[in-house]
Structure 1
Amino acid sequence: MGLPLILVASFSQSYSQGVQKTDSHIDYWVQGGPSVTTLGTGLQAELMVDYNNHLFSISTTSTDVDFGTEIWDIALIYGQSMNYRSFYLSAGTGVAVIGGNGYSDLFGRGTKTSIETTIGFPLRGQISWQPVRFFALGINSFLNVNTEQPFGGIGISVRIGKFQGL
């Protein structure tokens, strides 16, 4: 009775799933620049980390070049990214704190009033071109959905840091 078990065990081959180690890829950079928003000319800046195409960002936008005089936000963003040759694309969303001065109209018209600091839900997207290993130029889009003063815009940015080479 034990002989068939010994024969099967000694002549059978075991196969296991091979685990291949993959290298983790971490990039990090700062970027910022001017933007055109629904409420006027503004600024944007971000500190970003890309870990294997998972993007983590601390971001700020302002609807005026003088930070704090109009609507502003400070956001924590999670997104996905991809590289294609010397181009980088990403999109993400998160949570933000907003404050500043808002308007009774959506597009910066009407009565200007101070708004309460509140929570917003930002959306961010970007495409950038990397001519050299540590520098890139990009176009960024942003939107902040909130109950006080929703706003959005598009801007250009300069990106400096350690990111995937050409």
Structure 2
Amino acid sequence: MVQLDRILFLLFIFTLPMVVMAQHPLPLTMDIENNERDLNFESSNAYNTNDPNNKNSFWINAGIGVGTPGIAGIASASYQFLGSNLLSLRGAITGELFGDELWDIGLLYGRATTAQDYHASISAGLAVMGGSRSSGGLFSDTPREEVSRQVGFPIGGQLFWLPSRFIGLGLSGFANLNGERSFAGLAFSLQIGKLK
């Protein structure tokens, strides 16, 4: 079983460099035919929010992977606006095949990169979480115990490669911190939408 601290550590390692770059882009200058051009991603025409040709990004993604406990699944709908602002509606679930199951549905706000060939983000918010516990095995007559629904604090991170304008492939990490039983997961995901 993958431990929560290992997943959170991997999520942190994967997303931190990209988030830092999104927050503090480095202006680059190059000489093209003796004319200097500014390649700062935040101020270039490709990401100038005042440019009418620049439209916001939106996508859905879904994936499956490992979590605490057992296997994990994630699905989300995201909207990136005004440069690097990100708003997501996310559902996540982790569970053992015949054991405990935990889930959440939440609204998250975060920051994302605005690069052309990759996409990284990190976000946090509020969620409703719940689930069930199995006190017996597969053939046990003991009924499942419901985990009471309560507010949790979801955290999410994504790292995607964008081979086209409409498809992305990568990793989605998630965690939910709550008073009942915190859980996390890391999933290989497919991203579909208007990505760049």
TM-score, with structure 1 as normaliser? 0.75
Task: Give 1:102 shift.
Answer: 4.0
Alignment of 1:22 onto 2:50: yes
Q: Is 2:175 aligned against 1:147?
A: no
SS at match of 1:71: strand
The yes-or-no answer on 1:100 pairing with 2:131 is yes
User: SS at 1:84's partner residue?
Assistant: coil
- Structure 1 stretches lacking a partner, 5+ long: 1-19, 105-111
1:77 to 108, 122, 130: 108
Consecutive unaligned residues in structure 2, runs of 5 or more: 1-47, 136-143
Is the 8 Å Cα contact of residues 43 and 64 (structure 1) preserved in structure 2? no
How do 1:15-164 residues align onto structure 2 when only pairs under 5 Å count?
Answer: 22-23=50-51, 25-51=55-81, 52-64=83-95, 70-102=101-133, 113-164=145-196
Please state how far the C-alpha of 1:113 moved relative to its aligned partner. Answer: 3.1
Letter in 1 for 2:145: T
More strand by share: 1
Could you list the runs of 4 or more consecutive aligned residues of structure 1 that deviate by over 4 angstroms after TM superposition? none
Structure 2 CA distance for aligned equivalents of residues 147 and 160 of structure 1: 34
**1:47, distance to aligned residue in structure 2 (A):** 0.4
**Aligned residues of 1:102 and 1:149 also touching (Cα < 8 A):** no
Q: Which has the higher helix share?
A: 2
Larger CA Rg, structure 1 vs 2: 1
* Superposition CA RMSD, Å: 2.3
Q: Kindly provide the CA deviation profile for residues 81-134 of structure 1, in whole angstroms up to 9, marking residues without a partner as x.
A: 013340101000000000111479xxxxxxx63210000001101110000110
